[in-house]
Amino acid sequence: MIKKCLFPAAGYGTRFLPATKSMPKEMMPIVNKPLIEFGVDEALEAGMNGMCIVTGRGKNSLTDHFDINYELENEISGTPKEEKLKDIRAIMDNAYFTFIRQREMKGLGHAILIGKKLIGDQPFAVVLADDLCINEEGDGVLKQMVALYNQFRCTIVAVQEVPEDQIHKYGVIKGEMIKDDIYRVDDMVEKPPQGTAPSNLAIIGRYILTPDIFDILKETPPGKGGEIQITDALLTQAKKGCVLAYKFKGKRFDCGSVPGYIEATNYVYDNIYED
Ligand code: G1P
């Protein structure tokens, strides 16, 4: 059973400055719901109740969001506005939250390693909240991945086909298709220079990781951009054992970029938001 989900959320969100000068990028709203809450919803739907958040300096509103706000709740108690807090209250009733601070920005792999204190020795999910995933036709992406994990019992990364001129922005996998939409990874590279990507399958911010990844991360030297890359650690794991890549069902919005954020906002407003 996968019960915990890790949310690396210590990054600066520089692409949205000045909005993210004092507000965490994970708190940017898609209409009226912060990005992180979409990720938490997806993890809950997949059967997880331990939400483990790796935060950084100036990110206290992330902690506050998943706690009671007595003054506000007292103020709107008994009014129709109370309804607006229904979803977040349900989250607080069904999930618990733990937090740890990443003091230095040494990359996604480093953030995941910091999260070990919250995860312990068990398989877990990772959600990068600025990749917003929505599947209105069926199960959310994490739930799809948990079903696969239960079948294969190994690390799984979510992938999506992206156009050639975009692929250099992602971790990219190469692998043999072993079943519809499932690949056994034999190579992966973090943000390959233009024209050198081993395929058009980009890793997006959903992972199921087996806990041996922590020991591998400890031994993984800084890679692209001088940062400890989860992609490099995953390649080691793939060579030692097995890593699968899964072409998920559903839509994904890159809310770390302005166009993706606007697209997600319009999509949610048109299809999901209820006033
Ligand atoms: C990170 C990962 C990258 C992955 C991407 C998905 O990069 O390092 O492998 O493809 O997330 O969003 P970032 O976007 O944080 O630079």
The pLDDT tens digits of the residues spanning 57-93 come to: 888 899 999 998 889 988 888 898 888 888 999 999 9
CA count, 13 A, side-chain hemisphere, 81: 7
The pLDDT of residue 13: 84
208: β partners: 125, 156
Q: Is the CB of 157 under 6 A from ligand 1?
A: no
Task: Flag whether pLDDT at 166 surpasses 90.
Answer: yes
Domain count of the chain?
1
Dist CA 213 CA 209 (whole Å):
7
Rounded to two decimals, what is the model's pTM?
Answer: 0.96
Domain with 30 in it: what CATH number? 3.90.550.10
Cβ of 203 closer than 6 Å to ligand 1, yes or no, is yes
Q: How confident is the model at residue 272 (pLDDT cuts 50, 70, 90)?
A: very high
Residue span of the structural domain in which 235 resides: 4-271
pLDDT at 222: 96
Determine if residue 116 is left, alpha or beta; phi over 0 gives left, psi from -120 to 50 gives alpha, anything else beta: alpha
Q: What is the mean pLDDT of residues 250-267?
A: 96
> How far apart are the C-alpha atoms of 96 and 117, rounded to whole Å?
15
Q: Is the pLDDT of residue 2 over 90?
A: yes
202 close to ligand 1 (CB < 6 Angstrom): yes
| Ligand 1 contact, 170 CB (< 6 A) | yes
Smallest CA separation from ligand 1 atom 7, residue: 170
Cα(142)–Cα(138) distance, integer angstroms: 12
Q: Would the CB of 13 count as within 6 Å of ligand 1?
A: no
Ligand 1 binding pocket mutation candidate from 6, 54, 128 (most atoms within 8 A of CB):
128
What's the mean per-residue pLDDT of the chain? 95
pLDDT of residue 192: 96
Ligand 1, atom nearest to 11 Cα: 15
Reported as a pLDDT band with limits 50, 70 and 90, residue 215 is: very high
